[in-house]
Structure 1
Amino acid sequence: MKVTAVETIECDAGWRNYYFVKISTDKGIVGWSEYDEGFGSPGVGAIIEKLKGRLIGQSVNNHEQFFQLAYCLTRPATGGVIGQAMGAIENALLDAKAKGLGVPCYELLGGKLRDQVPVYWSHCPTWRINHPQFYGNAVTDLEGVKKTAAEVKARGFTALKTNLFIHEDGPAFAWRPGFAVPFKPELPVTPKLIRNIRQHLEALREGGGPDLGILIDINFNAKPEGLLKLLRALSDLDLFWVEIDSYTPKGLAYVRQHSPFPISSCETLIGMKEFLPFFEYQAMDVAIIDGVWNGMFQALKIAALADAHDVNVAPHNFYGDLCTLMNAHFAAAVPNLHIMEVDIDRLPWEGELFTHAPEFKDGCLIVPDRPGWGTDPIEKELRARPPKVTGGLLQYKRA
């Protein structure tokens, strides 16, 4: 079965866009993957266009051969959006290959170890604060934060992840200087910020009860000095983990050594070579792997590297429903899975875009047994919702 065409398609996803790779074959089988350009990655689609000429006419089965060829051809600028483009193509090849064999993609990743994947409700109540026009149930204050945590518990989820917010200056708003919202490149951690983070976490605990796992994502919003100041101020709280993004393994290792909480990290890294020093310096307790960026077959290698260092992994997943099911196959196959990220708040029209939606039971994601990833984008519906914004970090501004 050979590749006859490679195409990228974008569609409107409210405050951002969704992006897809469609690989057509001479057997009529179509392989799909979802990727992203909004999380600091503009231009992935342009790289796919540059790479696809080396793929057309080749067998969909030889995804590792294509990956190694593409790596050689882009070696001077490895990683970044180039690595993400390679991962997006690899994921579409895996889908086509699995469909040709009539098996779920997890069979190509070593087989299924679990039928259900434990998940946490991510961006809670972040999407309801930042984008209530698309998700409803607007949250503007600490009482709304508390009610959202109660909803998480009532719906059977055992954990949630939240972000940084200021509650004192009118309606709640996100604090994201690491992404220039506001633009403060020194990344200050002030008493006011600490006070607001603490109030936010206490409201979640009050609403969710003593057994709900609470995760907080600091992203790139503080440097080690500020991180330690914040972690010490929160040390009496019960947190599942603190998530920190960093490109400095020694600095992150220092923070971890002095943290009262488990540290998760690495969601923005691409390839084993970028992950390796973080394992060698024991910089994190849990390695977050973005299989959408890396490609699920490459992500499997990173998970094996983590396992060799006695570190569990968690998929990074905050995209559309196809990405959720792509990550479900990875999570089903890796032995050292900790927990998986899922955005439970969805767009009103999300169900119109895909043939099958993710299924949840008792706080877990059911691993689909359908061939390929277990869902396909509905091309007609994608094209009926053309992209409206550049999306993500390049678009977002606080009024």
Structure 2
Amino acid sequence: MGNLTIEHIELFTVPPRWLFLKITTKSGVFGWGEPIVEGKADTVAACIHELKQYVIGKDASNIEDLWQVLYRGGFYRGGPILMSAISGIDQALWDIKGKALGVPVHELLGGAVRQKMKMYCWIGGDNPEVVLEQAHEKVAAGFKAVKMNATGAMEWVSSVKDVKKVAHNIKLLREEFGFDLDIGLDFHGRVHKPMVKRLIDELLPYNPLFIEEPVLPENNEALKHIYSYSSIPIATGERMFSRWDFKDILHQGVVDIIQPDLSHAGGISEVRRIAAMAEAYDITMAPHCPLGPIALASALHVDFVSANAVIQESSIGIHYNKGYDILDYMLNPEVFDVKEGYINLLSKPGLGVEIDEYKLKEAVKIGHKWANPIWRHEDGNFAEW
């Protein structure tokens, strides 16, 4: 494989809200990663600089040993910042090893169990015309599944008027597309426990594909009440960062779909382990990915080898990507072509995405200071975004 001793780690903060990482070895083989906590790019970058001491000078092919050192080498472990930093490094190491051996990452993970992966993308907009317009755009682009936020800001106990608004957009989509379009609904942690069952009652007639993050992950104990209340599949996990974070909800059986993020939950190495844990409980996986091309490629490679992976999120055209989109930094955007609702098996060595470094370096000059909005209710109290 040549000399895979790690020589350099470079970081690129680029719009719309991403942080890319490049690891280069002495033989010149390099790999890409995407370590990012949305709104905390500088913090994650600082963490990577602290982790360099464990990585520079080491053999890039020793992925598992490096993962263990990065995770266990600090007395304090886990959490979004550290695990996202580890995620980006891990992705780049798999990219390097695949390129050095001339095979795609999914071959290194045991080989594909499927030849294509079902995809979904986001639609947004507060008024019905925009929702329908964007849904038609996504269907025309090849998607057969979409996701949208179920609610705006919700009070701890909301008025009946606000509750009745929640089902309006999915009702319009059902009337327009029937059941030819799968529709996921993201509660986004905006809804507190007192309102979840009432909202489910409103949504049940329209048969959403799943309900995502019905409560915040710090309130996961509420899932046992929600899970037994509804037949709609419950999804959660984008704000859970390791197999240890998932252990309890898997054991309790209070979720149908787990959604670890390949840029937050320890990278390819850890999410593959999380997928295997979920399979043992007959629970499915749909990795969270409102991010860039490296994160999406990483998620797809895990999907391709995980029998319980059911659908993959994509940020193509997502409302966060103003001015820059997921394909803009790629020399080979065709690998993410969606055909009849699916992306075909990635076949190029490593992660299979080729980054346009000239465009990346130009975008670094712009950078970003993205932060999620701060919402408040009518009375001035903080509202979950």
* Length-normalised TM-score, structure 1: 0.85
Q: Name the CA shift for 1:230/1:281 in 2 (closer, same or farther; >3 Å).
A: same
Partner SS, residue 7 of structure 1? strand
1:271-328 CA-to-partner distances (Å, cap 9, x unmatched) read 1111010011111111112122121111000000000111111111111122222211
Letter in 2 for 1:12: P
Matching of residue 152 in structure 1 with residue 128 in structure 2: no
Matching of residue 109 in structure 1 with residue 109 in structure 2: yes
Contact 2:33 2:87 survives alignment (8 Å): no
Structure 2 residue corresponding to 1:281, chosen from 249, 252, 263: 252
Letter in 2 for 1:378: D
Matching of residue 253 in structure 1 with residue 218 in structure 2: no
Letter in 1 for 2:258: A
Structure 2 residue corresponding to 1:234, chosen from 195, 198, 203: 203
**How many residues in Structure 1 have an aligned counterpart in Structure 2?**
364
2: CA distance, partners of 1:39 / 1:337: 28
The aligned runs of 1:22-33 (5 Å cut-off) are 22-33=22-33
The aligned runs of 1:82-101 (5 Å cut-off) are 82-101=82-101
State the 1:243 CA deviation: 0.7
Q: Name the CA shift for 1:397/1:59 in 2 (closer, same or farther; >3 Å).
A: farther
1: CA distance, partners of 2:176 / 2:95: 41
Contact 1:32 1:376 survives alignment (8 Å): no
State the 1:330 CA deviation: 1.1
Match of residue 200 from structure 1 = 169
State the 1:42 CA deviation: 5.8
RMSD over aligned CA atoms reads: 2.2
Q: Name the CA shift for 1:384/1:74 in 2 (closer, same or farther; >3 Å).
A: same
Q: Name the CA shift for 1:7/1:388 in 2 (closer, same or farther; >3 Å).
A: closer
Match of residue 262 from structure 2 = 291
Match of residue 180 from structure 1 = none
The aligned runs of 1:295-374 (5 Å cut-off) are 295-345=267-317, 349-350=324-325, 351-357=327-333, 358-374=336-352
1:329-370 CA-to-partner distances (Å, cap 9, x unmatched) read 111111111111113316565444112111211110122210
Q: Name the CA shift for 1:336/1:194 in 2 (closer, same or farther; >3 Å).
A: same
Contact 2:35 2:89 survives alignment (8 Å): no
Q: Name the CA shift for 1:354/1:187 in 2 (closer, same or farther; >3 Å).
A: farther
Match of residue 7 from structure 2 = 4
Letter in 2 for 1:3: I
Match of residue 80 from structure 1 = 80
| Greater shift in the superposed pair: 232-241 or 85-94 | 232-241
2: CA distance, partners of 1:39 / 1:256: 31
% identical equivalent positions:
26
Letter in 2 for 1:105: V
Letter in 2 for 1:243: E
State the 1:216 CA deviation: 0.3
Match of residue 380 from structure 2 = none
1:238-276 CA-to-partner distances (Å, cap 9, x unmatched) read 211111142333211211111241111112111111101
Contact 1:42 1:81 survives alignment (8 Å): no
Match of residue 183 from structure 1 = none
Match of residue 20 from structure 1 = 20
1: CA distance, partners of 2:267 / 2:372: 22
Partner SS, residue 110 of structure 1? coil
Matching of residue 379 in structure 1 with residue 351 in structure 2: no
Contact 1:263 1:284 survives alignment (8 Å): yes
Q: Can you give the 5+ residue segments of structure 1 that lack an aligned partner in the other structure?
A: 130-139, 166-174, 178-185
Letter in 1 for 2:369: T
Match of residue 53 from structure 2 = 53
Contact 2:132 2:173 survives alignment (8 Å): yes
Contact 2:113 2:304 survives alignment (8 Å): yes
Match of residue 190 from structure 1 = 159
Letter in 2 for 1:368: L
State the 1:227 CA deviation: 0.8
Letter in 1 for 2:205: D
Match of residue 142 from structure 1 = 128
| Greater shift in the superposed pair: 22-31 or 357-366 | 357-366
Contact 2:104 2:347 survives alignment (8 Å): yes
Structure 1 residue corresponding to 2:181, chosen from 207, 212, 220: 212
Letter in 1 for 2:316: I
Contact 2:235 2:259 survives alignment (8 Å): yes
Letter in 1 for 2:68: Q
Q: Name the CA shift for 1:372/1:395 in 2 (closer, same or farther; >3 Å).
A: farther
Contact 2:11 2:22 survives alignment (8 Å): yes
